[in-house]
Every structure is written in C-alpha cells, then in structure tokens.
C-alpha cells in the first residue's frame, strides 16, 4: 500500500494546498510542516508559475510573491526534501503547471521529485490525452486526474475508469477561491463520478470554512482547501501558528 492509499484509510481526508516560497521560502517550509503535523492527511505543495490559469486572485498573488522572492523548481524540490528530513510522513503532491516542468526537463524533473519525496503530481493544464509522455516516466508515482461539472459523461467515464490514487473533482466552474456556499448539485456530481470508479473522490475549489468542509466531507472522500488556507496563513503575523490552528480546525470538522 502506497502512502496515498494509506492516507484514505480514515475518510474523509483533509488536503490543504500551500505554495512553496510564500511569504518566503523558509516560512513556507515551516507552514507545510505545521499543516502536516497538525491534521492534514495529504498536502498539495504548490509550485509557483507566472501564468496559473486555474487559480483565483488569492493563490495568484501568493505565487507571484513567491516568484518575486526567487522561488524556482529546483529550490522547491530542495524544500520538499527538507520536509522529508523533518519527519513529514504524509503524502506530498506537487501541484503545478506543465511549462516549468518541461523547462526543467521532464525526466530530470520526475527523477528529482521522486528523490525529494514527492508522491505524485496534480497538473491542471495537462489533459489526459496529452499526458502519455509524462506518465511513462512516473513508475510508482501518480498523476492525479481532474474532473469538473462541465466534464461530459463520456470524458468523465474515461478519466474515472483510468484514475489512480484519487480523483480531484472541481466542485464549481471557474477558478479557485472560496465561495459563500457549496454547490447544490455536488452530491449528484460525486455520484456521477463514483458510477465509474472505486478510487476516492476529493472535492476542491470553493471550500472556505470548516463548516463547508464538514458538509463536503459528508459527501466526498476528501476535502481540498486552497485559497482559504493561503489567505488565512498569509494574513497572519504568525503564519506557522495560523497553519497549526487551520489544520486542527479543519481536521476536527471532518472527524
């Protein structure tokens, strides 16, 4: 059983997102460590990119600051290795866009990510139809597929049938960012996906409060929280303490 499968033994899981390099590199490592050790079951570790198409203003701003402070793919992978040295044992998924990975060199990128302790990848701008070259390099690492409310039944069936690890289900149309309430049709959307697969279904985009996380967790196998996590921690004068509290609050809501 790999670390990702193991994480889903107690569902629903809590999966926060946080970008390396924000508000600076050292703080981001401390924040991710705090999330991991205070309630997160799996973490989406952000790789910053200048054109993050799927992200809303909160994450765009954070990743832009990280880039201005000098974050690179190489530094990000070194930070991931540091988290492993600090005893972070939960799965760490690298979330980023394809262009920086291509620029780094795909084979070298996957090799270095494996060495650093990554369990897999979430790449919003790499559709399944174009992922063959990347997937051929992965070995036991996983590329997580994404589905959205706009996915056709045919595409949903195809992606779900071939999914490994878990499915990242985008709960709303549009970019990342907290919403005032969860979608009325979320239960039906999750049911559509589960009709085609037995892998866990995790819901992201739009979850801003622990109460919303609880509502989503009653329907899904996992809850992904990005913008609210970045905003809460980024706004705090004590980001590491804020990370500890955030993780504990959301984990508590899902227990």
Residue of 33, 55, 119, 221 with catalytic role: 55
Instruction: Determine whether 44 is an active site residue.
Output: yes
d(C-alpha 239, C-alpha 237), whole Å? 6
Instruction: Determine whether 135 is an active site residue.
Output: no
DSSP per-residue string spanning the chain: --HHHHHTTSSSEEEEEEETTSS-HHHHHHHHHHHHHTT-SSEEEEPP-S--TT--HHHHHHHHHHHHTT--HHHHHHHHHHHHHTT--S-EEEE--HHHHHHH-HHHHHHHHHHHT--EEE-TT--GGG-HHHHTT-TT-EEEEEE-TT--HHHHHHHHHH--S-EEEE-SSSSS---SS--TTHHHHHHHHHTS--S-EEEESS--SHHHHHHHHTTSSEEEE-HHHHHHHHT-SSHHHHHHHHHHHHHHHH-
d(C-alpha 42, C-alpha 40), whole Å? 6
Residue of 33, 41, 44, 112 with catalytic role: 44
Nearest Cα neighbor of 63 from 75, 74, 76, 50 is 50
Q: What residues act catalytically?
A: 44, 55
């Amino acid at each position: 059983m790999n670390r990702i499968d193991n994480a889903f033994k107690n569902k629903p899981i809590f999966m926060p997102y946080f970008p390396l390099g924000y508000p600076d590199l050292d703080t981001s490592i401390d924040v991710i460590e705090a999330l991991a050790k205070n309630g997160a079951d799996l973490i989406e570790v952000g790789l910053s990119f200048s054109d993050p198409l799927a992200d809303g203003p909160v994450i765009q701003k954070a990743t832009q600051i990280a880039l201005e402070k000098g974050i690179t793919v190489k530094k990000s992978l070194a930070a991931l290795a540091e988290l492993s040295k600090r005893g972070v044992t939960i799965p760490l998924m690298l979330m980023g866009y394809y262009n920086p990975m291509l620029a780094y060199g795909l084979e070298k990128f996957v090799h270095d990510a494996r060495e650093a302790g990554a369990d897999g990848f979430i790449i919003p701008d790499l559709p399944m139809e174009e992922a063959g070259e990347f997937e051929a390099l992965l070995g036991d690492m996983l590329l997580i597929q994404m589905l959205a409310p706009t996915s056709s039944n045919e595409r949903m069936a195809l992606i779900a049938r071939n999914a490994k690890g878990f499915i990242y289900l985008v709960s709303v149309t549009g970019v990342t960012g907290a919403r005032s309430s969860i979608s009325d049709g979320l239960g039906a959307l999750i049911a559509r996906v589960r009709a085609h697969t037995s892998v866990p279904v995790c819901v992201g985009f739009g979850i801003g409060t622990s109460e919303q996380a609880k509502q989503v967790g009653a329907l899904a196998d996992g809850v992904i929280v990005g913008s609210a996590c970045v905003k809460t921690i980024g706004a705090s004068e004590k980001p590491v303490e804020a990370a500890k509290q955030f993780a504990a609050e959301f984990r508590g809501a899902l227990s």
